[in-house]
Amino acid sequence: MVLDRVEDLTDEYVIQNTSFEHGGAVIRIPKGREYYASEDVMLRNNTGPGEFKFYGQNGEFMWFVNEDFGSAMKHNTWYLLPIAYSLTLVPK
């Protein structure tokens, strides 16, 4: 899978998928969806009871989910793993 682009018009990440058995050639993930994180990232970014998020320099933040921390993850739902790509989010 490759992060192809970020579509501002639909507010989605567009992933090119080479494994057609897992959702087809293109997977779209809403930009507002939580990001998948490892256990140590979750522990470092625990901001309150059941809240896991990372704050950037300009007030932007990313929500994190992990299957071992609460029940925020949904079945049959794609989540991005931030360390799997290089991407800079720029506030509008």
Q: Count the domains in the chain.
A: 2
Per-residue pLDDT tens digits for 49-76? 888 998 888 888 889 999 998 778 898 8
- State the amino acid at position 12 in one-letter form: E
Flag whether 91 is in a domain: no
Tokens of 79: 């989540």
Q: Are residues 56 and 13 in the same domain?
A: no
Q: Are residues 47 and 16 in the same domain?
A: no
Ramachandran region, residue 41 (left: φ > 0; alpha: ψ -120 to 50; beta: rest): alpha
pTM: 0.74
Flag whether 67 is in a domain: yes
Q: Are residues 11 and 38 in the same domain?
A: no
Residue where the block lists tokens 């059941």: 50
Asked whether residue 84 carries a pLDDT value surpassing 70, the answer given is: no
Range of the domain at 3: 1-32
Q: Are residues 37 and 79 in the same domain?
A: yes
How many other CB atoms sit within 10 Å of the CB of residue 15?
19
